[in-house]
Amino acid sequence: MTKGGATRKVSVPGRLKGKTDPQIKEWAREELYGQEALLDRDTLSKIKRGEMKEVLLRTKKSGFFLPGTNQFIEASDMSVGFGEDLDEVEKEMEKEEEDWAWVDRENKAFNQDTVPESAPGRFAMRQHWEHGKRVYEYVEASKRSLRKIHELLAKRGGPKAYGVMTHETASSLYAWKPDATPEDPVFDWTWHVLDAVLRFSSENSMREYVAELINTDLLPSNAPQQSLSDFLRGLNDKKPIWRKDAVFLSEMWSKLKRGEKLTGEERDRLKQQFELLRH
C-alpha cells in the first residue's frame, strides 16, 4: 500500500488551463472525494499553463481509500474499528494499486490512437486479439475478475480509451481462438463482424460454423461486411439487408441461432441475398 497519503492518478482537464490556484485545488479536492491534495508550486504552475496531461494526486492526510469506495480512512483511525481486518484491507489496497498500474500501461498500448477500431487489414484485429490475450493473462495471474478489469480499463483510459464492450470483444476473441495464427481469416474481418459473431452465440462450435459460412460463401461473393454484421444481429428493417427477403433471412437467422446447419441450397440463396446489395 502507498505510504503516507492516498493517491489517485487522474487526467488533467483542459479547462484548468489559466485557472487560479484555489480553482485548481478545488478540482483536486473533488478528485480526492473531498480530501485536501498536496500540490506543490511547480505542479500548480504546469497545470495552469496546460502542460500536464495527468497528475498523481496525494491526500494531505495519511491514510487510504477503502477498496471500491470513496471512503477515506485516516492513518490515526486504522486501528479503530478494523482490528484484524486491517491487514486484509491493506492487502486489497495493494492489489488495487497493482490493477491501476497494469491498466494504465495497457491503455497506453491499446487505445483508439494506437489501434483504430475501424482500421482495415489484419493489424487492427490482431491487436484486439493481443489485447485480449494480455487481459486474460493478467486476470489469471492476479486472480481478479474479468469484468472488473474491463470496467477499470474503460474508466481509467481517458478520452481515447475504448469502452467496456470493446474490451469484452477482445477478450472473447482470444478466449474463442487462443491459438490463432496471424493468418487466421478472422483477422480480415471488421470489428463489427467480429463482435456480431461473438455475440451471436457463446458456443465455439456455432461460431466456427458461422465463421466458415462467412469466409467460404459470403465474403468471396463480396458481401459487404456491415451487412454481415447487420444480419447476424437480427431483424432490423432499417438495415438494407433486411429490406430484401426478410422472411427467408429470418428463417436462416433462426436456424443458425438454433445451432442448425444450412443446406447447400440455403447457403446459395443466402449468398444471393448479399449479392443483391451490390446492384
CA pair distance 102, 110, nearest whole angstrom? 12
Find the helix or strand (DSSP H, E) in which 7 lies.
Answer: strand 5-11
Judgement on whether residues 90 and 75 belong to the same structural domain of the protein: no
Average pLDDT over residues 217-227: 91
The share of the chain scoring above pLDDT 70, in percent, equals 89
Domain with 143 in it: 86-188
CA pair distance 125, 146, nearest whole angstrom? 20
* Length in residues, the chain: 279
Cβ–Cβ < 8 Å for 107, 153: yes
Total domains, the chain = 3
CA pair distance 208, 184, nearest whole angstrom? 12
In this predicted structure, the answer to whether residue 85 has a pLDDT above a threshold of 60 is: no
Domain end: 122, 154, 188, which one?
A: 188
Judgement on whether residues 38 and 96 belong to the same structural domain of the protein: no
Q: How far is CA 71 from CA 34, 117, 125, 224, 259, in A?
A: 10, 37, 40, 51, 49
Domain end: 48, 83, 118, which one?
A: 83
Band of the pLDDT at 69, cuts 50, 70, 90? low
Distance of CA 273 to the CA centre of its chain: 34
The set of cell numbers assigned to 189 is 474481418
**Residue 93 pLDDT:** 73
Judgement on whether residues 235 and 169 belong to the same structural domain of the protein: no
Judgement on whether residues 214 and 252 belong to the same structural domain of the protein: yes
In angstroms, how far is the first alpha carbon of the chain from the final one?
64
The set of cell numbers assigned to 92 is 486489497
**Residue 86 pLDDT:** 58
Band of the pLDDT at 72, cuts 50, 70, 90? confident
Supply the DSSP symbol for 38: -
- Show the DSSP H helices in 21-84 as ranges: 21-31, 41-48
Judgement on whether residues 92 and 176 belong to the same structural domain of the protein: yes
Judgement on whether residues 184 and 90 belong to the same structural domain of the protein: yes
Query: Look-up: residue for cell 474508466?
Result: 155
CA pair distance 182, 133, nearest whole angstrom? 14
**Residue 12 pLDDT:** 92
Task: For residue 59, give the 3-state DSSP assignment.
Answer: strand
Band of the pLDDT at 10, cuts 50, 70, 90? confident
Domain end: 140, 161, 188, which one?
A: 188
Supply the DSSP symbol for 74: E
CB count in 10 Å sphere of residue 28:
25
Distance of CA 2 to the CA centre of its chain: 27
Judgement on whether residues 47 and 96 belong to the same structural domain of the protein: no
Supply the DSSP symbol for 33: T
Q: How far is CA 122 from CA 86, 191, 245, in A?
A: 49, 11, 32
In this predicted structure, the answer to whether residue 83 has a pLDDT above a threshold of 60 is: no
Band of the pLDDT at 80, cuts 50, 70, 90? very low
Output the pTM of the full model: 0.70
